[in-house]
């Protein structure tokens, strides 16, 4: 096998057999992910190898401290609850030959290796209420598992990650600088961002006024960050633990609404396809309440519909900012990818806003 950085990094981990292959895998926007195939007693066993994006995560060792605590706690708790297939319901870090939980290569990149969750899929687009239910139930269970995480407060791996007013301020800075002269290509989106600035403080304001509590949350709950079992469609394992840190459940539920209520892709260019569908929202509420109802406060519950509106707006702002800044953050596959993504998010915000009056009665009825 050629000596790519990822094949070299793979050799640093205590794998139970010889490496057969290491190929790029998945559709995440941030890290470099590889599927490893390892020969173990005549069988092929897969692992996930990841290089952490250190442009995005400035303190990778602190991030990995969080990840190791989260993996350890979730596995221990599931095992102590006697869950029979606990091994595929929480990620496990594969140690390095030196017995560490991550590897630093000779140019300073951090790598980690996880067990591969087989017979499960991370979907980029929702295709049924059943999937929406399963995803929301899994993220609610994940929050419940972490409610008693022992030890100090988790590190904030990206400070102000869901601080929507700061995201808005960053957008304004990018707009004022317009370093690539791209603002003229996004006039409608820029107007939308500015006209909806009142959305920015809905969640952060409630947190600041202590109307809702800080909790350990996932913070990146898009649909493809939970693997659904191929046979049962159950949400079997929450992945992408880089942003598990102090947050609000509204960030998590909001990103579920963003990614699991419209049957169109995040970067859909046919805006007519982007619509928040009430049956999918209903399934999200049902799934989320099935695992989270026991710990949610009345105020958290009441804000669930707005959470989708705010987080979709926030991520639209982030895509638009990245467009203006010249595509420096999110991985892009085409020249206008970030602009397309921003447009699609704002279309979805419009759809959610129009349907808020119908979302609240659904919530009230189900809670
Ligand atoms: P990113 O931060 O770049 O989104 P993720 O941790 O979400 O990285 O991983 C990217 C993709 O790799 C996921 O969407 C999923 O398809 C796949 N993946 C990640 N971890 C595992 C795992 N342990 N088992 C199976 N697939 C995985
Ligand atoms: C990124 O890592 P990934 O692809 O699961 C991003 C999220 C965005 C999402 C939009 C660390 O998620 O915040 O909501 O893209 N993750 C980070 O698809 O910025
Ligand atoms: Mg991901």
Q: Is 161 helix (H, G, I), strand (E, B) or coil?
A: coil
CA of 224 to the centre of ligand 1 (A): 8
Distance of CA 48 to the CA centre of its chain: 17
Q: Looking at residue 2, what is its pLDDT?
A: 72
Q: Looking at residue 194, what is its pLDDT?
A: 98
Q: Is the pLDDT of residue 83 over 90?
A: yes
Domain that holds residue 279: 129-366
pTM: 0.97
Q: Has residue 355 been placed in a domain?
A: yes
Q: For 125-161, what is each residue's pLDDT tens digit?
A: 999 999 999 999 999 999 999 999 999 999 999 999 9
Q: Answer yes or no: do 34 and 156 share one domain.
A: no
31 touches ligand 1 (CB under 6 Å) = yes
Q: For 43-54, what is each residue's pLDDT tens digit?
A: 999 999 999 999
Ligand 2 atom nearest the C-alpha of 319 is 10
Q: Answer yes or no: do 193 and 165 share one domain.
A: yes
Q: How many domains does the chain have?
A: 2
Q: Is the pLDDT of residue 1 over 70?
A: no
Query: Which domain-ending residue is among 57, 90, 118?
Result: 118
| % residues pLDDT > 70 (the chain) | 100
Mean pLDDT on 226-241:
98
Q: Looking at residue 173, what is its pLDDT?
A: 98
33 touches ligand 1 (CB under 6 Å) = yes
CA of 77 to the centre of ligand 3 (A): 24
* Residue 113: closest CA among 11, 196, 215: 11
Ligand 1 atom nearest the C-alpha of 120 is 25
List, as ranges, residues with CB under 5 A of the ion ligand 3.
Answer: 28, 225, 240
What CATH number does the domain containing 91 carry?
3.30.200.20
Query: Which domain-ending residue is among 118, 150, 169?
Result: 118
Q: Is the pLDDT of residue 237 over 90?
A: yes
Q: Answer yes or no: do 163 and 294 share one domain.
A: yes
Q: For 100-111, what is each residue's pLDDT tens digit?
A: 999 999 999 999
| % residues pLDDT > 90 (the chain) | 98
222 touches ligand 2 (CB under 6 Å) = yes
- Beta-strand ranges (E) seen in the chain are 18-24, 32-40, 43-51, 103-104, 110-115, 120-121, 215-217, 226-229, 235-238, 245-247
Q: Is the pLDDT of residue 3 over 90?
A: no
**pLDDT confidence tier of residue 232, bands split at 50, 70 and 90:** very high
Q: Looking at residue 345, what is its pLDDT?
A: 99
* Residue 40: closest CA among 9, 19, 22: 19
């Amino acid at each position: 096998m050629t000596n790519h950085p990822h094949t070299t990094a793979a050799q640093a981990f205590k794998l139970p057999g010889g490496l057969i292959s290491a190929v790029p895998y998945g559709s995440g926007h941030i890290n470099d992910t590889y599927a490893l195939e390892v020969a173990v007693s005549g069988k092929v066993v897969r692992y996930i190898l990841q290089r952490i994006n250190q442009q995005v995560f400035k303190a990778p060792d602190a991030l990995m401290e969080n990840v190791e605590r989260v993996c350890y706690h979730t596995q221990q708790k599931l095992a102590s609850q006697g869950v029979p297939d606990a091994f595929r319901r929480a990620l496990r870090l594969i140690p390095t030959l030196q017995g560490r939980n991550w590897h630093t290569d000779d140019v300073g990149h951090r790598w980690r290796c996880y067990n591969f969750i087989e017979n499960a899929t991370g979907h980029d687009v929702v295709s049924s209420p059943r999937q929406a239910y399963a995803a929301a139930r899994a993220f609610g269970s994940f929050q419940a598992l972490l409610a008693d995480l022992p030890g100090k407060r988790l590190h904030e791996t990206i400070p102000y990650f869901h601080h929507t007013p700061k995201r808005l301020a960053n957008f304004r800075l990018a707009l004022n600088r317009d370093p690539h002269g791209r603002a003229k290509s996004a006039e409608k989106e820029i107007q939308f961002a500015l006209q909806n600035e009142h959305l920015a403080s809905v969640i952060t304001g409630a947190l600041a006024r202590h109307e809702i509590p800080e909790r350990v949350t996932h913070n990146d709950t898009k649909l493809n960050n939970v693997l659904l079992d191929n046979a049962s469609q159950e949400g079997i394992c929450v992945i992408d633990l880089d942003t598990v840190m102090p947050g609000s459940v509204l960030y998590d539920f909001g990103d579920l609404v963003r990614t699991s209520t419209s049957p169109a892709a995040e970067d859909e260019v046919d805006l007519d396809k982007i619509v928040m569908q009430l049956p999918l929202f209903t399934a999200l509420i049902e799934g989320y309440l099935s695992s989270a109802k026991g710990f949610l406060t009345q105020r958290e519950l009441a804000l669930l519909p707005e959470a989708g509106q705010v987080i979709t707006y926030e991520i639209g702002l982030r895509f638009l900012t990245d467009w203006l800044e010249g595509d420096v953050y999110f991985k892009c596959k085409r020249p206008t990818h970030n602009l397309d993504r921003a447009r699609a998010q704002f279309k979805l915000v419009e759809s959610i806003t129009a349907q808020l009056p119908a979302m609240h009665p659904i919530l009230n009825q189900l809670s």
